[in-house]
Amino acid sequence: MSGGSGRRPPVVVAANWKMHKDPPATGSFFREFRASTAEGGPRVLVFPPAASLAAAVAARPPGVSIGVQNIHWEDKGAFTGEISAPIARGAGASHALVGHSERRHLFGESDADVARKMAAALRHGLVPLLCVGETLREREAGRVEEVVLRQLDRALEELPGARADFLIAYEPVWAINTGRTATPADVEAAHGTLRGRLRERLGAAAADVSILYGGSVKPANARALMAADDVDGLLVGGASLDADQFADIVEAARSR
Ligand code: 13P
């Protein structure tokens, strides 16, 4: 459970489309997406590729928020191929993924980069969804706690004060796009570690920070994952590309 006060973070279900879906496919997805996004249910976030952002903003139903998969830490400048937080905001994004493992491991993003991106997002009113998670080698070496706490602490280093207006996703690298899901016990352990650190840093406001699980989430395992302690939502890759599967996952998250 997320704290003695009984206060619990909002439930959030997020779709990370990675490098999938052009603007027409984005429009089709939202025409087929049937989950109820009424108030009181899970908050739904969709992270399309940047070139499909405008299509997503135009086609999303009420209650669905749109985010970018990456931002640069500078507000503007000579950074070919990059998108700043103000540009993302101007294009209709309200959220930004920060520190996704594919950014860290395939594109060499460091903890310091992640910290600057967290600060840039919050400076411009984008809600960051900070991704943390260990590799298989780190897990096998018994370093899960150390790794996720380092990633969390470093990510918050550049923030001007104690802020609780961000989200976290625990995404073990070995569970991403592999069909291998962490067990509810693995997830509880990592989420409990992160929640503990949030309490140390933020006190009661730690209960405002939703901690999502990501890594091979499917309609078939979503309910069991949501039942684990300190799981406040799900970050879904592959299964979020299918409107029906993603809607089923949103429905499963309603069970918490
Ligand atoms: P999969 O659900 O495809 O494993 O991807 C998880 C992920 O990386 C979401 O950000």
Q: What is the pLDDT of residue 4?
A: 47
Q: Would the pLDDT of 85 be above 70?
A: yes
Q: In sequence order, what E strands does the chain have? A: 12-16, 43-47, 64-68, 95-98, 127-132, 167-170, 211-214, 233-236
Cα-atom radius of gyration of the chain, to the nearest Å?
17
CA distances from 247 to 30, 54, 211, 217, 242 (A): 11, 22, 20, 13, 9
pLDDT per position as a tens digit, 23-62: 999 999 999 999 988 888 999 999 999 999 999 999 999 9
Pairing status of strand 167-170 against strand 211-214: parallel
Provide the pLDDT confidence category of residue 208 given band limits of 50, 70 and 90: very high
Least confident of 4-18, 19-33, 102-116: 4-18
One-letter amino acid of 188: E
The mean of the pLDDT values for the chain is 95
Residues involved in catalysis: 100, 171
Q: Which helix (H) or strand (E) holds 62?
A: none
CB 214 less than 6 A from any atom of ligand 1:
yes
State in Å: Cα 32 to ligand 1 middle.
21
Give the whole-number percent of the chain exceeding pLDDT 70.
Answer: 98
Q: What is the pLDDT of residue 5?
A: 54
State in Å: Cα 123 to ligand 1 middle.
27
Say how many C-beta atoms besides its own lie within 10 A of residue 233's C-beta.
30
| pTM confidence score | 0.96
